[in-house]
Amino acid sequence: MSKRKWLWGAAVLALVGLAFFARGLWPADKTDARAQGAGGRVVPVEIGKAERKKVPVRLDALGTVTPIASVALKARVETTITDVHFTDGAHVKAGEKLFSLDCRVMDAQIQTTEGQLARDQAQLAGAERDVNRYSELVAKNATPVTNLDNAKTQSDVFRAAIKSSSGLLENLKAQRSFCTIAAPISGRISAANFKVGNFVRPADTTPMATIIQLAPVYVSFAIPQKNLPAIRQAIANESATIQVTVAGQAKRAEGTVSMIENSVDSVTGMATVRATMPNQDEVLWPGTLVTAEVTLRIEDAIVVPSTAVQVSQTGSFVFVVADGKAKVQPVTVERQVGLETVVSSGLNGGETVVTDGQLLLSNGTRVNARPSGAAASGEKAAGS
């Protein structure tokens, strides 16, 4: 019995000791937590500046490159190809010879018509001499007037024959000119669909080749109808410019917005806009899908680094650093321009905002601020 009592006593003493030990530890943990909540913790953060500066008002859209001019070459006479003067896919200039066609039949027809014209001219000369002779004889009453009238009629017939032969000759010469096919515009030519020896005719549905103008070109894209007033005003002010980027290329092509389609698509609520791009270096290729960035105007605004803007259930906000502490500042975000965000209200410009480390912050948290990586590298470069 005494052994059992001894065991119970030992157990009670152990529990009491444990309780005292735990009581000694609890106040210390609670005190540290209160100290941290009271602002004893310092959070390292990166900072940036809210600046007032000129920023563009832009619209972004997906567009398609379309040629201003595209010509499908077709034969205008029925004959065979005797020569092809270009390389498939080459750049050709307006007036450059592209195809030569067999024209021997037309050459023979032209010679025949020229012979007929010379015969009619000779006959007209003889008829005019008869008119002159009969005119003198009628004046002397040496011949009937009927002979003079017949000579004049014959002369008129030969004049009509000359006119007909001249017209036929001009037509044949025009047909003869179709045997040489030249480039009507400058641009990039496709592969030749017909080679030397092929028979071509005007009824062919497949063109002999196609030329597409590459400089300048159009870029067409669609914008929501709510943006129509702004872009129309920009076009009226001649301030609407466009930069186009092709996927996989760092170089941008620049141009101007030239027109808006005269109606809005009632199904999608989108309006088609077209821009003219000089494209002298042929960065843009017809049919390519591009990203269009339209600048409507330049205006003064307050901007902050986009990484500074946070979103909560009540809206957007930034942490403003003042006197070594972070303060929650609600802001109204208008739009994003590159790596910066335009703020329409909440900031006056010149404030220091937190760009990294916001997860550990609350209103009034002490911070250890350092410039962001981009800003720090810029300052270092300026100092060196």
Are 203 and 317 within one domain? Answer: no
Q: Which residues of 321-334 are buried (b: 16+ CB within 10 A; e: fewer)?
A: beeeebbebebebb
- Report the distance separating Cα 372 and Cα 10, nearest Å: 62
Is the confidence at residue 372, as pLDDT, over 80? no
**DSSP 3-state of 356:** strand
Provide the percentage of residues in the chain whose pLDDT is more than 90: 62
Examine residue 156 and state whether it is found in any structural domain, yes or no.
yes
CATH number (domain holding residue 48)? 2.40.420.20
End-to-end Cα separation, the chain, in angstroms: 89
User: Which of 33-37, 103-107, 181-185, 296-300 has the lowest average pLDDT?
Assistant: 33-37
Domain count, the chain: 4
| 13 confidence band (pLDDT: 50, 70, 90) | low
CB-based contact 62:289 (threshold 8 Å): yes
pLDDT in tens, 60-101: 899 999 999 999 999 999 999 999 999 999 999 999 999 999
Q: What is the pLDDT of residue 36?
A: 44
Q: Which of 160, 177, 194 is where one domain is finished?
A: 177
Across the range 230-257, mean pLDDT stands at: 88
- Do 261 and 206 fall within a single domain? no
- CA 264 to chain centroid: 20
* 269 and 257 belong to one structural domain: yes
Place of tokens 């062919």: 204
From residue 153, alpha-carbon distances to 118, 127, 159 in Å are 20, 9, 10
Same domain flag for 343 and 287: no
Which residue is associated with the tokens 């196609």?
A: 210
**Burial, 289: exposed, middle or buried (Cβ in 10 Å; 0-12, 13-18, 19+)?**
exposed
Q: Are residues 324 and 350 in the same domain?
A: yes
Question: Higher confidence at residue 37 or residue 135?
Answer: 135
Same domain, 173 and 186: no
Structure tokens, 68: 């201003």
Question: Residue 236: its pLDDT value, please?
Answer: 87
* 379 CB burial (10 A radius; 0-12, 13-18, 19+): exposed
* SS3 of residue 69 by DSSP: coil
Strand 241-246 to strand 289-305: parallel, antiparallel, or no bridges (unpaired)?
Answer: antiparallel
Averaged confidence pLDDT in the chain = 86
What is the predicted pLDDT for the residue at 41?
81
* Largest Cα–Cα separation, the chain: 186
For residue 363, with 0-12 CB atoms within 10 Å meaning exposed, 13-18 middle and 19 or more buried, which class applies? exposed
Same domain, 336 and 285: no
- Whether 208 is in a domain gets the answer yes
Q: Are residues 91 and 201 in the same domain?
A: yes
Same domain membership, residue 305 and residue 379: yes
Which of 319, 316, 309, 378 has its CA nearest to residue 341? 309
The CATH number for 108's domain is 1.10.287.470
100, containing H or E segment: strand 97-101
Write the pLDDT tens digit of every residue in 261-296: 999 999 999 999 999 999 998 899 999 999 999 988
Residues 221 and 201 in one domain: no
Give the separation between CA 256 and CA 225, rounded to whole angstroms: 20
- 169-182: average pLDDT: 95
196-239 per-position pLDDT tens digit:
999 999 999 999 999 999 999 999 999 999 989 989 988 888 88
Domain hosting residue 362, numbered range: 42-55+300-383
d(CA 279, CA 300): 31
| Token pair in block for residue 224 | 């929501």
Residues 246 and 291 in one domain: yes
Residue 1 reports pLDDT greater than 60? no
Structural domain includes residue 198:
yes
35 inside domain? no
Confidence of residue 337 (pLDDT cuts 50, 70, 90): confident
